[in-house]
Amino acid sequence: MPLRAQLGAILALAAVLRVWQLNHVGFNSDEAVYSGQAAAIAEDSELEDLFPVFRAHPLLFQTALSLGWRLDLGVGFERFVAAATGVATVYLVYELGKLLYGSRTGLVAALLMALMPYHVVVTRQVLLDGPMTLFATLTLVLLARFVFSRRPAWLYASGAAMGLTFLSKETSIVLLCAVYAFLALTPELRVRLRDLAIALGVMAVVIAPFPLSLMMAGHTGTGESYLTWQLFRRPNHDWLFYPSTVPEALGPLVLAAAAAGLWVYRREASWRERLLVCWIAVPVVFFELWPVKGYQYLLPIAAPLAVLAGRALSRRHTLPAVAIVAATLLIATAARIDPPDDGTALAGSGGLPAGREAGEWIAANVPKGSTFMTVGPSMANLVQFYGHRRAYGLSVSPNPLNRNPSYEPLPNPDQALRDSKVEYVVWDTFSAGRSQKFARRLLRYAERYNGRVVHVEALPASTPSGKRADRPAIVVYEVRP
């Protein structure tokens, strides 16, 4: 089969896995926030008052999504945009592999990336990590071109790509340390300080629109608030979170192939391997040491890992090994994108079952201007995005150091309920599983203020006897003082 046909088939496979039943389940909390920001940028009349434009992250992806809101494409298009960034990243992985080790390696690396559960799952969601990984991989490609050609223009271009990576998500700034480590470990690559300064200047120019927009909008304190919160917030996972979740999502055989290739072909080692290993090691070390952990934070390491594994698997007589690794990835990915029907989900695997349906019922049946109280901000975001009604999370702390600055607390829930400033209470099994204390407290408020069940979203679940039966997943109460 011609090279272009093989690459086309891989990209088609990548697209199918990323759009299959893409909107079967509605958004999760983060997806609602980023889509709500896009709607606010587009000046959507129903959502711009509920979702502030300036929050924790830069706005490159949200601004791109706002074009869809202006074109009235309808809720759900955002995931197709995210999926498109995922397919584009698969193509860039091919380019990176071809550039470093040849077309055969590029094809195998692209196939691994197309099938990899980690990348597929994240790029099926409206998250910033997919676009960030796209531009991070572009930065790698351009940096490699610079090393091959020694032409400063490629270094400047990699600076621009790094700026776009930052504008996608600011945590990607750690990749600058990966670039520094690579240059420090590659003495044969002599880079003039003048060229480095120009590359950093280009990156700064690309990034500049974000801080300038904050200044012009009078939100210069927003970044400081989020930085304070991130520095002092309590850890959300233990040290074993990444070792226990990410290797499985990347593919154990992919990791084994990458490691085996580094060892077996160590005598052929060059700057290529140093570049890829630095791109992997720096984020892994940083986020492992950083107390706050997120499932998708390590996604940029997927591309260099795929290339290293592709290098090992693209040698002669390795076609059976490629088939085995690809099959294991496909099976794992299929299991993760198959929509759950019981309200449970693997880490980072997608939307919140029944959240969209509950929000749409609220939009259609609850008077405009009504206010809701939920267990936590996750359900509050869905009530606001799908239901177009103001919602407060009971678990949001009144202490500014202990809460996301985007979320407004209810300092005195009793008073708000007595004064009818909160007319509805929403309990959901997802939040209850994460915070039983606040779930019980919310139900006590519902009982104390004459809560009447007005709507229930149910999901099938296993009973103690092993049978299947519907159980309440989201319950909406109308309360009265």
The whole-number pLDDT of residue 238 equals: 78
346 pLDDT above the threshold of 60: no
* Residue closest to 421 by CA, chosen among 398, 391, 447: 391
* Residue closest to 297 by CA, chosen among 181, 434, 430, 173: 173
The whole-number pLDDT of residue 211 equals: 87
* Residue closest to 162 by CA, chosen among 191, 195, 140: 140
Indicate the pLDDT class of residue 225, thresholds 50, 70 and 90.
low
88 alpha carbon, distance to own chain's centre: 16
223 pLDDT above the threshold of 60: no
For 31, 146, 392, the CA distances from 222, given in Å and listed in that order, are 21, 37, 20
Kindly tell me the burial class for residue 199, based on how many C-beta atoms sit within 10 Å of its own C-beta (0-12, 13-18, 19 or more): buried
Cβ distance 41 to 59 under 8 Å? yes
Q: pLDDT per residue over 431-467, tens digit each?
A: 998 889 999 999 999 999 999 999 999 998 776 766 7
21 pLDDT above the threshold of 60: yes
